[in-house]
Structure 1
Amino acid sequence: MARGFGRLRRDDLLRAACGVIAARGFGHTRTADIARAAGVSQALLFYHFETREKMLAQALAYAAERDLAALERMEASGGSPPERLRALLALYSPGGRPTSWTLWIDARAESVRDADLEAICRETGLRWRRALRSVVDEGVGTGAFDCADPDGAVWRIIALVDGLAAQVTAHRRLLTRARLAELVRASAELELGLPRGALC
């Protein structure tokens, strides 16, 4: 019983930390901000996480676990390669949780100076690329896709989503999420030899 309560409390703290980091950024987030958002004392935060740096890294790892759990559910749902590609692109692109991309953009910037954040960002990015590569390879193998350079296609698609997601997140009036989705689908269709509108 105590272990279950402790796990719940830890998840609550990490969820609160993610919200604060998304709003304030890694560099401006104080333990006092997270404690206030979670409705706990700073002493409780340090009991669970020891240092501010460990808490921030574990908050990012928690966000990664949530995102990757959604990816695993999508992978387990099955479907044809084009259907899975459509679902994966929708899941990876900015969607209903605006705080998610804000958190990841800031984490990538901070990872230049923080080895723990860099490791989490790198491993999470690799997992998404492996998932996309698996879909592309299956589609090429079954003839659903026509792509001479799957590795390059995966890198270009991921880079496009990342770049457009940064624009949508930082400059909300410059590019809509609907337009981002159109651009990503059109690019993926070109990369994989699909007819225009196949991923709509």
Structure 2
Amino acid sequence: MKKPTMTQTLLFILVIGIGLFYALKYGNKAKKDIAEFESKKETNTTTKEIIELKYFGEIDLNKTEEYIDVLTNINGNEISIDLNIIEETISKKTIQPTINFLENLHEIEKIAHKQVLSDFKNGNIVKDYIEHHIGEFNDDDLKSLGIKTTDSPKERKQKFLNKIYLKRIGFYPEEWDSLAIFDFTISRDLTQYLIVLSFDSNGKFVDIYTES
């Protein structure tokens, strides 16, 4: 058997060296890629925290939807209710007042309606809303609300008041001082102006105002 020449020996060493170099280089890269993949996988796999929210069903506190709306019946009236969450996750502590509010929604809706009547009697918001629309609506508009041209101003206002109804309730769990917004209207078709009531995280009435 021939003894390898010096050149063959050097070539052999060079080939072995190159092989070790690439094995080390790409082996470390493969390990790095695997580590990064596992890290991303761990980050993306967030534990679900499911709760049952009355009217809205199941929601995941660790992966919230920005906006959910449903139609429901409250005290004999069909009302649109919506849930608005800013952050992608929300804690059980933050959502708890909303849970409590929804459990007592039928009673709070009655309080909101009484507040509208009380403001008509003792305040200015509801009166101004009614007077503005009576002045703006034509006879046909008023007739569609059951108001006659022969009615006295007092009768018109009372009939108008009786037609005001709750259109929508919006929930904002992260807003402690205005957790729930109640929108009242005289008509979905005749006006864009609303009588708005806000309630805090304890279910207490906070404010009444108008907006479009």
Task: Say which structure is richer in helix.
Answer: 1
The structure with the larger Rg is: 2
Greater strand proportion:
2
What is the TM-score of this pair, normalised by structure 2?
0.21
Alignment TM-score, normalising by the size of structure 1:
0.21
